[in-house]
Amino acid sequence: MSTLQITDLHVSVGDTPILRGVNLTLNSAEVHALMGPNGSGKSTLAYALAGHPGYTVTSGSVTLDGEEVVGMEADQRARKGLYLAFQYPVTIPGVKVADFLRHAVSNVRNPDRKEGGELISMREYRRELYERMDELSVDRAFARRYLNEGFSGGEKKRMEILQMAMLRPRFAFLDETDSGLDTDAVNVVSEGVAKLAAEQKMGVLIITHHDRLLHYNTPDHTHVMLGGKIVESGGADLAAELYTDGYAGVRDRHPEVA
Ligand code: ADP
Ligand code: MG
Ligand code: MG
């Protein structure tokens, strides 16, 4: 069992404070939904957790099984088992999907691996990659394509989930991984996340504006962010309520941050 504990986290972008004291504890095998209106700071939390250099932690702490994560490079966090599926996946021209993933998997499975160090065996890797691709309905031909180059929105998102399946993180943050997908793709991605979460006892923080992803991944906990703080927490019923009623009620209850 692993625990990711976020304590009184303050994060600035440039000189602007965005997160103003976030407290949140994730355990293995738990699904947390993070909701809140646009601009409330959800992506900022995801980026800060992943160690994006543009997001400065000005105070507070994030510990993974007691070890401080703030100050670690993004790459080191990935090796420790944190994974962020970005809202806008990047394109890396000239790097093939299969090569990118083999390097990423090698780094995560062998935390002491140096740049240029030994990669996981091609045979073992290929077998696992194809197995995962088949499960996630990703055409095997994608392995030979350049990462995200010319991929549709849905293809990029599937790649993110494939990457997650291969990396087997302890905690994954999904920032609107389902946005811009057609219904079939949302179902594949949602089922994929649920399966991985169950198989690998992964802790998941899901940020979404749709209820499909949460339909497959019923949240154990739902949190509402407003003005850079988590102002309310509850169970799956809170998520359902917010999808139906929107955020007016939450804003009314928290005029100090709304
Ligand atoms: P959400 O994901 O909940 O929509 P964000 O975390 O993207 O919210 O944004 C929270 C606030 O931080 C917004 O007011 C946004 O304008 C601001 N913000 C986020 N990223 C940046 C940035 N790179 N530069 C300036 N402001 C930013
Ligand atoms: Mg559970
Ligand atoms: Mg966002």
Residue 91: is its pLDDT beyond 80? no
- Tens digit of pLDDT for each residue in 51-64? 888 999 999 999 99
Copy the structure tokens of residue 208.
Answer: 């979404």
- What's the order of all strands across the beta sheet hosting 203-207? 82-85, 171-175, 203-207, 31-35, 221-226, 229-234
Q: Which residues neighbour 144 within 8 Å (Cβ) at sequence distance 6 or greater?
A: 96, 97, 98
The model carries a pTM of 0.90
Domains of the chain listed by start with CATH number:
3-90+153-160+168-253 (3.40.50.300)
Sign of CA dihedral 87, 17, 170, 111: positive
DSSP assignment letter at 229: E
Confidence of residue 97 (pLDDT cuts 50, 70, 90): confident
Backbone angles phi, psi at 98, to 5 degrees: -60, -40
| C-alpha of residue 225 to centroid of ligand 3, in Å | 11
| C-alpha of residue 33 to centroid of ligand 2, in Å | 12
- Nearest C-alpha to atom 16 of ligand 1 is from which residue? 39
- Tell me what ipTM this predicted complex has: 0.93
| C-alpha of residue 43 to centroid of ligand 3, in Å | 4
The best mutation among 9, 18, 257 to test binding of ligand 1, ranked by most ligand atoms within 8 Å of the C-beta, falls on 18
- Tens digit of pLDDT for each residue in 176-206? 887 778 888 888 888 888 888 888 899 999 9
Q: How are beta strands 3-13 and 55-64 bridged, if at all?
A: antiparallel
Confidence of residue 170 (pLDDT cuts 50, 70, 90): very high
Copy the structure tokens of residue 230.
Answer: 């988590």
Q: Mean pLDDT throughout 81-110?
A: 79
**What's the Rg (C-alpha) of the chain?**
18
State whether the beta carbon of 229 lies less than 6 angstroms from ligand 1.
Answer: no
Round to whole Å and give the CA distance between 184 and 189: 9
